Chain A
Amino acid sequence: MRKGVRNWGPPLLLVSPTILILGIFVYGLIAANIQVSTTNRHSLAPESEFVGLENYLALLGEDRFLHSLFNLVMFTVVFIAGTMLFGFIWAWMLDKGVSAEGVFRSVFLFPMAISFVASGVVWRWLLNSAEGDRASGLNRIFESLGLGFLQNAWWNEPIWGMAAIAMPAIWQLSGYVMALFLAGFRGVPQELREAARMDGASEWKLYRFVVFPQLSPIALSALIIVSHMSLKVFDLIMSVTGSIYQTEVPATYLWVTLTSNDYAKSATIATILLLLASLFIIPYLIQTWRSEKANR
C-alpha cells in the first residue's frame, strides 16, 4: 500500500497544479458559462431563473445571428482554402530545391510573428474601400498601376466582404502551414524517392503517388489548427473594421452583447462557438487516439 502511494503519488502531485488550474479556469468556467446560458439573465441584475434552451432557440431563429454565422462560414472557407493552397505550394517549391531556402522560409514565416491586432491595423488601411481620387492602400496601388478596374470595396461588399477580411489571415498563416507541410515533405524517407526513381517514375508521378499520400496526416493537423483559429477570429476583425454589422461573426457579436450587459445571450453565443469548435476538434482527437493505439 505504502509502496503504491510512492509510485503514483509524486507524479500526481506534479501534475496536480495543472489539473487544478485547468479544472477551475477552463472546465469550471465552461460549466458556469453553460449555466448562465440557460437563465434569463439579460441585464446586470443578478436575479435570474432557469429557462432551459429558450436562449438557444431565440438565437438560432435570429437573422442577425444567422448573418454572423454566414460571415464566419465565408471567412473560414476562404481562409482555410487560401492558407492550405499557399502553404502547400510554397512547401512543394521549397522541397523541389531552391537556392537560399532559409531566406524564403523566414520570409514566409515572419508574418506569423506579428499579432493579428498589429497586422489588422495595417490591413485596415490597405483594404480601405474608397476609390478614385481618395483611394488609399490597395486601391491606390491598382490606380497608380493603371489597373483601376481592379479597385473594389473589399470588406464593404455585401456578400463577399468576409473573403477580403480573410486576406490578412491568409497572409499571416500560410507560412505556418508551409512549415508544417515542409516538415512533412522532409519526413518522407529518401529511400522511397530513390526506389520510385529506380522504377522509372517521373517527377510528377513520384510526388503524386509516393510523397503526397504521406502528407495526409500533416494536412489534417494543419486543417484542424487553421479551422479552429478561424472559428475564434475576433482580434483581426475588431482591428480591421471594429464591431459592425457588415463583418459581424459570432465572436464579435458575443462581445457586443457582453458590453451591453446581456449576459445570458453572450453566454449562449459562447456555448455555440464552443460546440462549433468541438465539431472540428473531437474527430481529430478520436483519430489521434486511434492511431496512437494502433502504433502501440
Chain B
Amino acid sequence: MRKRRLSIIAGAALAGLALAGCSPAAESADDGNANQVEVFTWWASGSEKVGLDALVSVFDEQYPDVDFNNAAVAGGAGSNAKAALASRLEASNPPDTFQAHAGAELTDYIAAGQLQDLSSFYEENGLNEAFPATLIDQLTSDGKIYSVPSNIHRANVTWVNIDVLESAGIDPAVAPADMDAWIADLTTLKDSGVETPLSLGTEWTQMQLLENVLIADLGAEGYTGLWDGTTPWDGPGVATAVDHYSQLLDFVNSDYVGLDWDAATQLVLDGNAGYNVMGDWAEAAFVQAGQTYGTEYTTWATPGTEGIFDFLADSFTLPEGAPHEAAAIDWLTTISSAEGQKAFNIAKGSIPARTDAVASDYPAYQQTALKSFSEDTVVSSLAHGAAAAASWSADLSSAIGKFGSDRDSDALIAVMVSAASSALG
C-alpha cells in the first residue's frame, strides 16, 4: 500500500514535469492579431522611455488600427537586451523590429542573414534625400541599408567649465585649434593648480576620448579609412594619436577607471575639472543642474575635430521572418517621418536624422547640433557601435583599458593592428 502511494506521487510528479514542458512559453504577444507590431528596445526608463512614449503616440495617430506591443528589456545600457535578442534570433523567433545602434554594430546580424534590406523602403519614403548624404554613406553596407535611424547623437563634444578656465587665464570661448594647442592649455590649467584639468571615466569613455583624438589627428577621411582598411593602424597617424592620448591621460582624475560617464561629467559641473569629452546626452546633466549655456559652461567640437560630426544613432531594423512585417514597416515609416522624429527627439534630447527638421522647434544646444549635422562631414563613432562590429570594438576597448594601466603604446598599437586584421579578414 505504501509502495503504491509512492508510485502515484512519483507518477504525478513526472506528469507535472511533462505538462510544464508542454505549456506554451509565456508570450506577451497575442499571436492571433495580425494588426500589431512587437517593438524590441532597451528604452525602459528616463528620457528614453519618455521619447518612446512620444513616438508611440505619433504612431497611434498615423496607424490607429495597429496595436503597439512594447517588448523593452531594461538594464545594462542595452547589454541585457542584446543578450535577450540574440537568443530570440537564434531560436528563429524575432520581434517585428528591434533597436540597434546604426552602423557597423549591425554587421553580425547582416552576416548571419537575420536582417532584411531596407533600400527600397528608403527610396519609397524619400529618405535618401531627407537624410544627409554622408549619413547615408555611413549606413550603407555593400550597397544596402538595413536600419532606419530614429535619433542622432554627437560624440565629439568637449564640455567646458568657464570659471575654471577663466581663473587660469584661458579664453573658454575659443576652442584650441588642434591637439597640441589643447595639451598646452591643459598644461596651463594644471600649472595654475587645477588637479584634474580633464575628467575621464570608465572604459567606454576612454575609448570615446581616444576616438576623438584619432579623428583630430587623422581627419575625417583618415579616420573613416581605419574601419575599411584604407588607413593603416600601424601608420604614423595612429602613432601620433596614441601619443597624444597618452599625454591627455596625464591630465585626468586618478580614479577615472571607476567612474561612470555621469560622475566624470559631474567633475566639470562642480568646477573640479576644466574639460570633459562626452556625447551630447551630457547636456541634460548641465540643464538639470540649472547651469546656463554660455555663462557657466560651454561646448565645442573636440579640438582638431571642428567641421566633423562624430555620429551615433539608435535605429530600427526589419528582421528576416518578422511575424508582422506590414505592421513593422508602418512602424519604420512613423520613425522616419518628420512628425515621429520630432516627437521622439524633443523628448529624448537628441536630434533628428532628417535635414528638413525645423530648428526653432528645438532647445538651444540641439539647434547648434542640428546646424553642424547638416553642414559637417559625418563620421561613425567607435565607442557606440557605429564604426566597428561588436567583437572588434570589444577587443579595442579592452586594449584601451589596459593602456590606462601600463601606458605601453607599442602593445596598444599591436592589439589594434591584430584586431583590425582579424575583423577585416
Contacts and interface: CB of A to CB of B under 8 A. Distances in A.
B364 to A, nearest CB: 31
Contacts of B406: 158
A242 B202 contact: yes
Contacts of B9: 14
B13 A261 contact: no
Interface in B142-168: none
Given A44-B114, A124-B258, A14 B391 contact: no
Contacts of A259: 79, 82-83, 390, 394
Nearest to A130: B255
Given A17-B14, A134-B272, A260-B391, A46 B398 contact: no
B24 interface: no
B409 interface: no
Contact of A42 (B17, B114, B258, B391): B391
A10 B254 contact: no
B112 interface: yes
Interface in B47-71: none
Contacts of A158: 405-406
B3 A10 contact: yes
Interface stretch (A172-180, A181-189, A243-251): A243-251
Interface in B80-99: 82-83, 86, 89-90
B6 A156 contact: no
Contacts of B82: 259
A45 B254 contact: no
Contact of B401 (A9, A155, A244): A244
A64 B109 CA distance: 26
- The A interface is mostly helix, strand or loop, or mixed, namely helix
B342 to A, nearest CB: 33
Scoring A11, A45, A132, A261 by chain B CB atoms within 10 A of each residue's CB, the highest score goes to: A261
Interface string B387-425: 000110110001101101110000000000000000000
Contact of A44 (B14, B108, B257): B108
A252 B339 CA distance: 42
Interface in A1-56: 6, 9-11, 13-14, 16-17, 20-21, 42-46
Contacts of B133: none
B84 to A, nearest CB: 11
Contacts of A235: none
A155 B258 CA distance: 9
Interface string B184-209: 00000000000100000011000000
A178 B116 CA distance: 59
A246 B257 contact: yes
Query: Which of A46, A134, A260, A262 is packed against the most chain B CB atoms within 10 Å?
Result: A260
Nearest to B10: A13
A71 interface: no
Interface string A197-238: 000000000000000000000000000000000000000000
Contacts of A134: 253, 255, 272
Nearest to A153: B254
A14 B15 CA distance: 11
B11 A13 contact: yes
Interface string B1-20: 00100110111011001000
A257 interface: yes
Contacts of B391: 42-43, 257, 260-262
B86 A44 contact: yes
Nearest to A124: B258
Given A9-B7, A261-B390, A129 B83 contact: no
A213 to B, nearest CB: 44
Given A43-B108, A64-B398, A246-B257, A14 B6 contact: yes
Nearest to A247: B257
A76 interface: no
A14 B391 CA distance: 46
B14 A45 contact: no
Interface residues of A, number: 43
Contacts of B108: 43-45, 261
B267 to A, nearest CB: 8
Contact of A256 (B17, B89, B90, B394): B394
B253 A130 contact: yes
B111 interface: yes
A95 interface: no
B399 to A, nearest CB: 8
A83 interface: no
B401 A245 contact: yes
Interface string A255-296: 011111110000000000000000000000000000000000
Given A156-B257, A256-B394, A261-B391, A45 B10 contact: no
B113 interface: yes
Contacts of B10: 10, 13-14, 16
Contacts of A132: 195
B109 A44 contact: yes
Interface centre among B11, B90, B111, B258 (most CB of A within 10 A): B258
Given A43-B108, A134-B272, A158-B406, A248 B86 contact: no
A203 B399 CA distance: 57
A256 B197 CA distance: 32
A143 interface: no
Nearest to A245: B401
Nearest to B9: A14
A26 B15 CA distance: 21
B112 A44 contact: yes
Nearest to A159: B405
A133 B203 CA distance: 24
Nearest to A125: B258
Contacts of B404: 245-246
Interface string A118-135: 000000100111111110
A10 B257 CA distance: 59
Given A11-B6, A132-B195, A245-B398, 7 more contacts: A9-B7, A10-B3, A45-B111, A64-B402, A156-B254, A244-B401, A259-B79
Interface of B: 3, 6-7, 9-11, 13-14, 17, 79, 82-83, 86, 89-90, 108-109, 111-114, 195, 202-203, 253-255, 257-258, 272, 390-391, 393-394, 398-399, 401-402, 404-406
8 contacts: A9-B7, A13-B14, A44-B114, A45-B111, A134-B272, A153-B254, A156-B258, A257-B391
- 4 closest residue pairs by CB, A with B: A245-B401, A13-B10, A44-B112, A260-B390
